[in-house]
Amino acid sequence: MSMESTSTCAHWKVDFDEHNIAWLHLDMADSKVNLLASTVLEELRGILDELAKDLPQAAIIYSGKKGSFIFGADINEFLEFDDISKSLPFISRGHEIMDKLESLACPTVSMINGMCLGGGMELSLACDYIVAADNSSTRLGLPEIKLGIHPGYGGTARSIQRCGPLPAMDIMLTGRALPARSAKKIGLIDECVPDRQLKQAAISFALQAPKRKSPPFVQRLLNNRILRPFIAQQMRKQVSRKARQAHYPAPYSLINLWQRHADNPKRMLREEAIAVANLATTDTARNLLRVFLLQDKLKNLGKQVAFKPSHVHVIGGGIMGGDIASWCAIQGYTVTVQDQDPSRLAQTFKRAQSSFKKKYKRDRRAITAAGDRLMPDHKGYGVSHADIIIEAIFEDADVKRTLYQDIEPRMKPDAILATNTSSIKLEDLSSSLNKPGRLVGLHFFNPVAMMPLVEIIRGNETDEDVVQKALAFGRSISKLPLPVKSSPGFLVNRILMPYLLEAVTMVGEGVPPEVIDKAATDFGMPMGPIELADTVGLDICKSVAEILSAALDMPLPENLNAMAAANKLGKKSGEGFYKYTKGKAQKNKAARFADVQKVQDRLVMRLLNEATACLREEIVESDELIDAGVIFGTGFAPFRGGPIHYIREAGKQELAERMNELRQEYGDRFESDTAWAGL
């Protein structure tokens, strides 16, 4: 038996079973995943109205998509929110429907198998019961904070009601998604069962409608009006370590919402809608949304061809090669990592083991399985098995060429050869190959496990098919692949270097490193340039800078040479621009400088100018890809939406004038690029 009105539904289907339970089946039309798009919500409204008229025994909501429940709202719809007059009605409509679901006078159950995020979680929270499958593809969370907003379909009030303020605020402030088991532990969901019992568990809740557990006493106590201001203050303090209010208002707004209205859930829901509608129109939210869409764009670049290698071979067991290998093993690939020196492979394997432990915690079987997939291979057996070989040996063109000649005869006919070089032109390397078209650049960033971007370098001779496969491979290892023209420094290092060198120059002029770094983090960079240089290693900075300075007419600051010569190499040698104790930079908190704004301008302008030059030289295909590359490759303040976007938003004219002032003071390196005017 099925419901008549759903015959007009594109996304939903409702069936009734022998217990008169209504099974609400969501399978969003023309989409790989379920989203709470407007049309989906409107159809749900109709279904709920109908159910309310002729009440079933219970209602169970579930997904028809494999491996996912509901991924959240359709954020493309957020793009319209340039004003609260657009965002508030949108949010309020969602609230209305969630309220309808919550007030349906029969037991309601959300039955989750797979990803359940954002709006999907909020929809579930509006149900009486939530049951989820205990498997690796099921994750539950409220990640709105990452888009510069917070839950807006009642998720704030309802999650706090369910599990108490601390766990609920924690998942909303961090935006992290929990496995079903952890979600059960904090009380976000009612039951977590193996796949085979999911349906049975949902039916059991639907028919028996047990009394729902309230949060533990301590959690209820913490929600008390008198205690809340203190706890809220504590939360603000914690948040401020990661995000400033000026840059990221959403977490502060969420904390305020809770502090003020937690006594009255109804009012909290109302205030939530208003707060989110306001947040959604901020520059931060709109830029973060842009970044999110850019991320999708990069992901899509890796979906153009199907390429799923059965075996990955990495040559070079240094930190970079080893980390690439262990990352690929974590991603499920069978990996061999080759190095002539077994002691280096031993270190590689040790590092890999600690990444596996970090990743899989105490799951001993998963750690063993990852270790079994990663084979230290000092005899190079993997060469003839691999569909993709990643070369990550030291930067010496001759040695690389010799290596390529040695391995090419043993490679599979269609295997791709990828080099992780950051400084040698692909064309200088491919000449040694019989099939030069198989060589592509695959430029990872350090540390591999943390950095989301991989530059895919297209040499003059690289086959298009090979570029596409490399992009697909980048995506298949959960990285964001960015196609880049073969040119010195590629995109990320090239844009980063003038900014780093300007910072080093300022140190030479006597500006305290602490002031420089703070100017950068004030702008929104994740780490200051001086500390970054120390972390990367001043020797490495110097060698990359040398290559770029030759190509881009960028003189090396004297003090960088001096530091390298004195073997002050940064964090790894214990001293660079900062001194390090236990791996932490010792900063002088009292350091001051007169014109901090100028320090920031000098840093930022050089970065923006180089980004503009890259756009003109078509290092990547579009201005959007420049923004994406710089954000995901350098951590460039995401809430500013990327360098090119920032120039446009801040006003290219004003920035150009500022450049001109700096040029008069510091010389031609502040000459604005010819493409600046055309932005």
Partner 1 sequence: MNNRKDVYIVDGSRTPQLKARGKPGPFSASDLAVTAGRALLMRHNFDLGELDEVIMGCVMPSEDEANIGRVIALRLGVPQTVPAWTVQRNCASGMQSIDSAFHNIANGQADLILAGGVEAMSRAPLLYNKTMVNWLSDLMMAKSPGQKLKTFAKFRPGHLKPVIAILRGLTDPVVGLNMGQTAENIAAKFGITREQMDSFAVDSHHRLAAAQDAGHLDEIETLYDSKGKYYDHDDGVRPDSSIEKLAKLRPVFDRKYGNVTAGNSAQITDGATLVLLASEEAVKKHNLPVLAKIVDSQWAGLDPAVMGMGPVHAMSPIMDRHQLAISDIDYWEINEAFATQVLGCVEAWKDDDYCKTHLGHERALGEIPHDRLNVDGGGVSIGHPVGASGARIVLHLAKILHRNNAKRGMASLCIGGGQGGAMLIENVSNESLQNEAA
Phi, psi at residue 317, to the nearest 5°? -100, 25
Nearer to partner 1, 33 or 346 (CB): 346
In whole angstroms, the minimum distance from the beta carbon of 371 to partner 1 comes to 8
In whole angstroms, the minimum distance from the beta carbon of 385 to partner 1 comes to 6
Among residues 124, 159, 422, 672, the one annotated as catalytic is: 422
In whole angstroms, the minimum distance from the beta carbon of 342 to partner 1 comes to 5
> Angle at which helices 513-523 and 492-509 pack, to 10 degrees?
140
Nearer to partner 1, 38 or 347 (CB): 347
Q: Where do the H-state alpha helices sit in 31-83?
A: 38-53
State both tokens at 480.
């964001």
Among residues 191, 272, 408, 455, the one annotated as catalytic is: 455
Which conformational region is residue 578 in: left (phi greater than 0), alpha (psi within -120 to 50 degrees), or beta? Answer: beta
Q: Which residues contact 622 (CB under 8 A, 6 or more apart)?
A: none
In whole angstroms, the minimum distance from the beta carbon of 96 to partner 1 comes to 51
- The string of DSSP codes covering 374-420 is EEE-TT-GGGGT-SEEEE---S-HHHHHHHHHHHGGGS-TT-EEEE-
In whole angstroms, the minimum distance from the beta carbon of 353 to partner 1 comes to 4
Secondary structure (3-state) at 303: coil
In whole angstroms, the minimum distance from the beta carbon of 289 to partner 1 comes to 42
Nearer to partner 1, 302 or 376 (CB): 376
Nearer to partner 1, 342 or 574 (CB): 342
In whole angstroms, the minimum distance from the beta carbon of 370 to partner 1 comes to 11
**Edge-to-edge strand order for the sheet containing 12-16?**
12-16, 21-26, 58-63, 108-112, 129-133, 191-193
Cα Rg of the chain (Å, integer):
27
Among residues 476, 493, 609, 672, the one annotated as catalytic is: 493
- The string of DSSP codes covering 70-87 is E--B-GGGGGG-SSHHHH
State both tokens at 598.
């100028």
Q: Which amino acid, one-letter code, is at 453? A: L
In whole angstroms, the minimum distance from the beta carbon of 138 to partner 1 comes to 24
State both tokens at 502.
């300007």
- CA dist 299 and 150 (Å) reads 25
Active site residue 455: yes
Among residues 11, 311, 443, 645, the one annotated as catalytic is: 443
Pick from 598, 612, 606: nearest CA to 648: 612
Active site residue 420: no
Nearer to partner 1, 386 or 500 (CB): 386
Nearer to partner 1, 293 or 369 (CB): 369
Which conformational region is residue 667 in: left (phi greater than 0), alpha (psi within -120 to 50 degrees), or beta? Answer: left
User: Are β-strands 178-179 and 139-141 bridged in parallel, bridged antiparallel, or unpaired?
Assistant: antiparallel
Nearer to partner 1, 247 or 351 (CB): 351
Nearer to partner 1, 252 or 356 (CB): 356
**Residue 617 and residue 633 in contact, taking contact as beta carbons nearer than 8 Å:** no
State both tokens at 292.
């999110």
Nearer to partner 1, 383 or 628 (CB): 383
What percentage of the chain's residues is helix, strand, coil (to nearest 5)?
55, 15, 30
Active site residue 31: no
Pick from 253, 662, 678: nearest CA to 498: 662
**Residue 618 and residue 653 in contact, taking contact as beta carbons nearer than 8 Å:** no
In whole angstroms, the minimum distance from the beta carbon of 372 to partner 1 comes to 5
Residues near partner 1, by CB under 8 A: 334, 336, 342-343, 345-347, 349-350, 353, 368-369, 371-373, 375-379, 381-382, 384-385
Active site residue 19: no
Could you say which DSSP state residue 507 is in?
A: H
Catalytic positions are: 422, 443, 455, 493
